[in-house]
Amino acid sequence: MNPTWQDIEQLYHEHRHELLRSLIRIVRCEQAAADLVQETYLRLVKRDQSCAVTHPRALLFRTATNLAIDYLRRGKFEQAGGHVSDFASETPSGAPSAERVLFDKQRVRIFSNAIDSLTPRCREAFLLHRVHGCSYREIADRLSVTESAVEKLIMRALLHCRNKLQQHDAE
């Protein structure tokens, strides 16, 4: 199917708000996104009509995304008052902050010390269940106790570890 000018106009009216929101997320500038929406429709109107289009909405969003990528590559965000370093600093990193890494390492150390301070039987039941994935039945057989006793040992271990972490957080 080759979309006519009227088809493209209808596509514009049906999807312009959704397309604008999508482009704002990409380029992080409402005015630039609005310009890119207009450019997208101009490209669709000017495109070669000899190629059949089976999914006009997909073509619309792919064209818009490609224009947004080109926009960012050309550095037009700098003309809007930003700088490359500003844009990079606004892009969130997936890596945790140095403070978060240090905090997490401290909590792991405290948790490890809490496990080490458990009674041998309590520590063994806890580690068999949480680390090795053993069921209460398997632990009960291994320690020659009831499943109820295993449950109590694990609960005692969890409470002990939680109290140690809360005590550290309070300090």
**With bands split at pLDDT 50, 70 and 90, how would you rate the model's confidence at 141?**
very high
Cα–Cα distances in angstroms (integers) from residue 166 to residues 14, 75, 100, 127, in the given order: 54, 49, 17, 21
**With bands split at pLDDT 50, 70 and 90, how would you rate the model's confidence at 57?**
confident
> Scanning the structure block, which residue is given the tokens 């109820």?
148
Give the chain's domains with CATH numbers.
Answer: 5-90 (1.10.1740), 98-170 (1.10.10.10)
pTM of the model: 0.45
Mention every residue, 6+ apart, whose C-beta is less than 8 A from residue 124. Answer: 143
Report the alpha-carbon distance of residue 83 to residue 104 in Å, rounded: 34
SS3 145: coil
**In the structure encoding, which two tokens stand for residue 38, read together?**
């207009």
Report the alpha-carbon distance of residue 155 to residue 150 in Å, rounded: 9
What does the pLDDT read at residue 89?
Answer: 53
